[in-house]
Each structure stands twice: as structure tokens, then as C-alpha cells.
Amino acid sequence: MNPESALAKIFGKDGVSTHKAELLSYATDASQIFGTALAVVFPKDEDHIRKLIILASQRNYPLVPRGGGTALTGAVVPDNAIVVDFSRMDRIIQINVKTKEAILEPGVIVDDLNMELRQFGLYFPVIPSSHEVCTLGGMVAANAAGLHALKYGKTEDWVNGMKTIDGTGKSYTFNEKNDFIGTEGILGFITEIKVKVTPLMPHTYLTLTRCKDLPQMIGDVEELAKDSKIVSLEFLDPITSKLLKLPESYHLIAEFVGEGEDSDLMELREGASVVLGGEGYLTTADPKLSSDKMEEFLTWIKENGIPCFGHIGYGIIHPRFRDDQGELIKEMFQLVQKLGGEISGEHGIGIIKKEYLDPDRKAELKGLKYMYDPQGIINPGKVI
Amino acid sequence: MEDYEKCTLCGLCKVNCPTFQVLKNEGDSPRGKAILMKKECDDPIFFKCNLCGACKTSCPMGIDLGLKQHRAKLVEKDIQTDANKKMIENVRKYGNPFGDPDDDSDPDELYCC
């Protein structure tokens, strides 16, 4: 049954679309995996969400929560589902300068939040590379990290509480961390987030170091990571370095708090993804390795001619693959598992990494799913 | 290879797109239009665009989606909005998009590209 008229009763005509072209635009995310959207709805408040869940539960409509649509894993790709676009739930409800907290709707974009916080000398320090368009709701769901993870950690470290509604329509107001963080929207919907914020970061400066080989780079990373003034530590492999017109070697880009010359080195690092995309390396992975396994992992990557870069100071690497390198991706995930690493350090599992998820974690998530969404209507087919 | 085929669907084009910033609908965003072009979906939604070029400026790869040329192709297939049809009709008939130049009253409707 076409859900349009029932949805229009909840969201109004402007709050729902079943226009063919619009549905096609909502059929994918940055993963470029395509599904099928039955309808798109634009909630404006918690009441909309509650009514939607009741309707979906009665009629067995699958629902897919969506923020900025920047997931690289297919986490918001609908499989004959209604897409719930949070772009219009984007109010910054409160900024408490005294307690250094902000209360937000899930559709707030992280750069918009930081623009508001700046006037109070405050800052939300988790900055993914998609910070200009990604939403706080999506960041919480994916437990996103980012450039400054070495100093500031991941999104979970900055969430002080959330209002959520699960797949049965039950509301929760938690005062502490909860199961909805990092579970990629499979348990229910986030309707409000309370985040911690921090005083604006002091002036920083960047340095570029050329490393003669991989062992030297690993040694340099160990030394630099001990520096109390370091806030980010990124690397480029020889293939990426060459494409960025640097010598064909490993390079480290380190960012320190303190006075130093401004430079465009971070643009160089952010350009890595673009130049590799231009060479046809469109698929990004995000394994996380411990420092003692990093050299073994990067040696395998190098031997297989896989270009990579990433937040090496935090252990997250971004190997890049061409469309026809599925087997190599599989081998890489097997190696990550063998080395005791995490198959996803910051992008999440979504669709593309499901088969590699740790069995214990999968069992744990299945238990949570059964508890919060026994009917299985919220973001089905993802993660587990 | 056309430029739009190189689009990786990262979504950064939405940052400065005035149409998306107002409507907040992925279908109206440059990325949404790139998807439609990749999937060969012809639709009047391509006319929800100011042709300002902000998407090209925001794109990390500097991709120009060629929306002006694409719209020209859609018009040839008679896929366009009623407002666009009226504007073309007025330009052909009166030499301006607003209608009869001898009529001193303000036009009831304004059309633009």
C-alpha cells in the first residue's frame, strides 16, 4: 500500500515526498550503494517521530534515519523503506556557557554548531572530514572521529545525554551514554542530543616530515605521540605523496598547539582523498590498528600496492581501493581481524562491512536490536 | 567521461547550494541532481537550481555538473516547468520574460531562468 496519504496526515504535504526523482536522490549515500526509497519524510519534532513509528509498526514499514547522507558504508541506504530525513530538525536548543554543554536537535551540522559556539569562545572538537555537511545525529550514530581524534577522541567522548525513541515507540531520556551511540540507527531515533563543548583550541601550527621508509615513520609516530602539545598526526603513503606532488616517500603531518607559521599542510592532507578519487580509488576503508601491529599492517598494504593515508596517531588508516578490488578488500579485513584490530575505526559498519563484524559484537547488537526494535522496522539490513 | 560521472556523492556540494539551504531536500541538491544524471532520470527538478555555480566551488574535485546544458536538453524533450514554458513563450512573443510590454500594470507572475 502506498504510504503517502497516511504520512501526509502526520507530516503535512510539505513534509513528505514520493516524487520519483526525489526518491532516487535518497536511494544512496556517499557509499554509492543504491537501494529503493518508498517515501521521504521530514520530521520537525519528537511528536512526528512518535506518530511515524506507530504508523510504521502497524503497517510494517521499514524506516531509515538519515542526517547529512555522508555515510561511506551504506548505513542510510533504504531497502524498500521510508527515509526519515532529519535536515529540518536542526535547532540549537540551548548553549550553556557555564556548564559547557549544548542541547541540539539531531539535524544540526557540526560546522553550524561551531559557528554558534565561537561567539562564546567554545568549540565542539570532533571534526570529521565531512564537517561542513554531516549532522550531529549521524555522528552519534556512527560514533565518528576525525582529524583531532588523537587529542579529543570520538563523538561518544562528548555526548552527555540524549533523548531517543526506540522501535516500539518508547521514549528514553538518558543522562549518560547509551546504546544508541555507535549503533548506526538500528535501535531507534535520536531526537535530542546534549553534548559537551570545550574552550576554543589555542593557535596551532603544522609540520611536514619526510620519512625514509616505513620503520622510520613508525618510530617517528611513537615519538611524536608522546608530545603533550600534539593534537593531530596524519600520514601519507608514497603513492599518495607522489600524487600530491611530494617526493615518493612516507610523510607525516603533525599539528601542535603553540605559536608557529600558518601553512596549507592540512589542505594537502585533505586533498589526499580527492587525488586518489580522481585516480579511480573510490572505495575507502577505515581499519583501526594498535601501534604494535601498525608496521605489519602497512607492510601488507604496501606490498599490495594499495594507496593509503589517515589518522595514524589515533591508529586509523584509510586504504583506498578501485571498484574491481573486492577480493583485496576482503583480504585486508581478514588481516585486520588476525592482527586484533577494529574493522571500522570511524565510518561504521553499515552494509559493506557486515560480514566482517566481530561475532561477539554482532551477538551483543542482535540482543539490543531485539530489546529496542523487536519488530525489526528501524534501519533493517544494516550492521548485523 | 562526463564530469558528473566522476562525482563521488560525498555531498560537500550542499554546503553553499542556496536551493538546498532553503528547501533542505536532497532531491534539490547538486548531489541529488548528479544521481539523477547518473541514473538518466529526466525530471523538471533540474529547474530547481539558480545556476550560480556554488556547487562547483564547494566540490573537492571541482566538478561542473553542466546543469545549464542539461536543462537545454530537457527543454528539447519538453521536460520543464510550466514557469519555464511561460517564460520562453513570453521571450519569443514579447522579447522579455514578463509578458506584454505595452501593459503598464505589474505582471501577476514573474518568471526567470
Whole-model pTM: value is 0.93
Q: Confidence class of residue A336 from pLDDT cuts 50, 70 and 90? A: very high
Contact B24 A87 (CB under 8 A): yes
Q: Count CB-CB contacts under 10 A for residue A46.
A: 17
pLDDT at B103: 76
Residue A277 has pLDDT above 90, yes or no: no
pLDDT at A265: 86
For A222-259, write each residue's pLDDT tens digit.
Answer: 999 999 999 999 999 999 999 999 999 999 999 999 98
CA A27/CA A78 separation, integer angstroms: 6
**Nearest C-alpha of chain A: how many angstroms from B28?**
8
Alpha helices in chain A (DSSP H): 4-11, 20-25, 46-59, 110-118, 136-142, 149-152, 214-225, 238-243, 265-278, 294-303, 326-338, 359-372
Interface of B with A (CB under 8 A): 6, 8-12, 14-15, 24-27, 29, 31-33, 35-36, 39, 41, 43, 45, 58, 60-61
Check: CB of residue B27 under 8 Å from CB of residue B70.
no
**Position A126, amino acid:** V
Q: Which of A59, A51, A60, A58 is nearest to A15 (CA)?
A: A51
CA A307/CA A295 separation, integer angstroms: 15
Q: Give the mutation candidate from B3, B14, B25 for the A interface (greatest A CB count, under 10 A).
A: B25
**Nearest C-alpha of chain A: how many angstroms from B12?**
6
Q: Where are the domains of chain B?
A: 3-94
Return the higher-pLDDT residue of B106 and A372. Answer: A372
Average pLDDT of the segment spanning A196-208: 94
Chain B residues with CB-CB distance to A77 below 8 A: none
Contact B24 A42 (CB under 8 A): yes
Q: Confidence class of residue A175 from pLDDT cuts 50, 70 and 90? A: low
Q: Confidence class of residue A173 from pLDDT cuts 50, 70 and 90? A: confident
Backbone angles phi, psi at B70, to 5 degrees: -65, -40
For A39-74, write each residue's pLDDT tens digit.
Answer: 999 999 999 999 999 999 999 999 999 999 999 999
Q: Confidence class of residue A178 from pLDDT cuts 50, 70 and 90? A: confident
pLDDT at A262: 79
Q: Which of A334, A21, A276 is nearest to B44 (CA)?
A: A21
Contact A273 B60 (CB under 8 A): yes
pLDDT at A177: 54
Percent pLDDT > 90 in chain A is 88
pLDDT at A273: 87
Residue A278 has pLDDT above 60, yes or no: yes
Contact A29 B31 (CB under 8 A): no
For A110-169, write each residue's pLDDT tens digit.
Answer: 999 999 999 999 999 999 989 999 999 999 999 999 889 999 999 999 999 999 999 999
Contact A32 B8 (CB under 8 A): yes
The C-alpha cell of A193 is what?
542530543
Contact A24 B29 (CB under 8 A): no
Q: Count CB-CB contacts under 10 A for residue A327.
A: 8
Contact A85 B61 (CB under 8 A): no
Chain B residues with CB-CB distance to A282 below 8 A: 8
Contact A70 B8 (CB under 8 A): no
pLDDT at B112: 62
Q: How far is CA A110 from CA A73, A91, A152, A315, B18, in A?
A: 20, 12, 15, 23, 19
pLDDT at A267: 82
Average pLDDT of the segment spanning A251-274: 87
What are the pLDDT tens digits along chain B (113 aa)? 888 998 989 999 999 999 999 999 999 999 999 999 999 999 999 999 999 999 999 998 899 999 999 999 999 999 999 988 888 898 999 888 888 877 777 777 776 65
pLDDT at A257: 93
The C-alpha cell of A75 is what?
548505513
pLDDT at A261: 82
Average pLDDT of the segment spanning A310-317: 95
Q: Which of A133, A270, A282 has its CB closest to that of B8? A: A282
Q: Which of A88, A133, A278 has its CB closest to that of B12? A: A133
